[in-house]
Structure formats: C-alpha cells, structure tokens
Amino acid sequence: MNIDTTIFYFFSSFAIISALMVVTLSNAVHSVLFLIMVFCNVAGLLLVLGAEFFSFMFLIVYVGAIAVLFLFVVMMLNIKRNPVKIDMYSIIPIGIIVLIILLNQIISNLDNQAVLIKDNYLTYTAWLCENNNLTNIEAIGIFLYTKFALLFLLCGLILLVAMIGAIVLTMHQRSAVKKQRISTQLSRDPRGVIKFITLRK
C-alpha cells in the first residue's frame, strides 16, 4: 500500500466518522464543529485525488463562509436541547430507505468502475508522481485569463457595479428626515436652556 492510498483511507474514514457525529450529537454547536471537520476531510480527499482547485474552493466557500456562518447563528441563537423526546422507531424506516438508496449508488459506481478498469478505459496515476505536469489551478488560470479573459473582466465589472449600487441604496439621503447635529448642540448657550415659570395654584 503506497502513501497516497493510505492518505485516502485516512481522510475517508475520518470524514465518515465526522459525518456520523454530525447527525448523532444532540448539541448543535458540536454538530457544526464536526461538520467543519467533514468539510476539511473532503477537501483533503479532493486534494489527494488531484482536484486542487475544488479542494481549495471547498475550504474557502464551505469552511470559511457557510460553516462559520452556521456556527455564529447557532451560538447567537443559543439553542438549548429539545426536551421533546423523539420516537426512534418512527425514524428507522426513513433511515433504511436512505441507506438502500446510498448503497445502490455505491454499488452502481463500483460496477461502472470495474467495467472501465476491465476495458482499460480507466488508469490510476499517483498524484505524488505528477510534479512536473500542469495542475488544475494552473489549467483553470490559463483558461480564464486567455480564452475567457473578457468574460472574466466583465463579471468583475458587474460585481463592482452591484457593490456600488448596494452602497448607494443604503446611503440614500432624504431631506425630510430629522437628524441630530452635534455641533449645533455643543454651541448652544447653556444659560437659556432652563426656563423658570410660575404656576397658578
């Protein structure tokens, strides 16, 4: 067993264990933390399989944005444990159906892989031996900045216009709104602030 196969089994086993912990833990914060661990393990699997771009995008988008947002929302809401007891026997049929669907997908993929290997359509290359070849990130960068450079710049221009439009919409000045002027309040005469009046009895 070579080193890339060992790393593959390491990341895949930890991803399965973390996924089981996500759905079995009762604490929402712990579930989100194990979800982040699942994302990190899947990113490691993609890196081992040679998809560097998707691996880094997985870390940036899912771990850096979505999972952290989940964690902040759960911690701000301060979700307590649900005192309502759920009948586990009512969930078992749904779990069996989902398990059958997943096993069917896994078996069909293994059959397709066996056919491809038998017909010599699929060859496995260790990613550690591909040091001199063009990586996915370099290929996508060359493709974006040469053939689709104009569309890439147009997307950046659209995002810039959308950002400026959001700022203009939020910073819209209305003349009918009364605002507090600190300079006027500080420059007032304190002797005319209090006025004494006599009340009739």
Provide the domain limits for residue 114. Answer: 85-133
- Which of 165, 144, 166, 167 shows the shortest CA–CA distance to 155? 144
pLDDT confidence of residue 91? 79
94 and 39, same domain (yes or no):
no
Domain co-membership, 142 together with 125: no
In a domain, 181, yes or no: no
Looking at the structure, tell me whether residues 125 and 142 fall in a common domain. Answer: no
pLDDT 10s per residue in the chain (201 long)?
678 788 888 888 999 999 988 888 878 788 888 988 998 899 888 888 877 888 888 888 888 888 777 877 777 776 665 555 667 777 788 888 988 998 888 888 776 655 555 555 555 555 556 556 677 777 788 888 888 889 889 988 998 998 898 788 777 666 676 777 788 777 777 777 777 777 776
Q: Is 187 domain-assigned?
A: no
Residues sharing a CB contact under 8 Å with residue 12, sequence separation 6 or more, in sequence order: 41, 45
- The answer to whether residue 76 is domain-embedded is yes
**pLDDT value, residue 161:** 92
The verdict on 31 and 68 lying in the same domain is yes
* Same domain (yes/no): 118, 156: no
Residue 184 located in a structural domain = no
> Are residues 104 and 125 part of one domain?
yes
10 and 63 share one domain: yes
Contact of 51 with 136, CB cutoff 8 Å: yes
CATH number reported for the structural domain that contains residue 79 in this entry = 1.20.120.1200
Count up the domains in the chain and report the number: 3
Q: Fill in the amino acid letter for 128.
A: L
Same domain, 127 and 155: no
Q: What pLDDT is recorded for position 142? A: 83
Q: Is residue 179 part of a domain?
A: no
Q: Are residues 62 and 117 in the same domain?
A: no
Domain annotation covers residue 186: no
pLDDT in tens, 90-112: 778 888 898 899 888 888 877 66
**Same structural domain, 18 and 63:** yes
Statement to judge: residues 127 and 141 lie in one domain? no
pLDDT (0 to 100) of residue 119: 54
Looking at the structure, tell me whether residues 73 and 5 fall in a common domain. Answer: yes
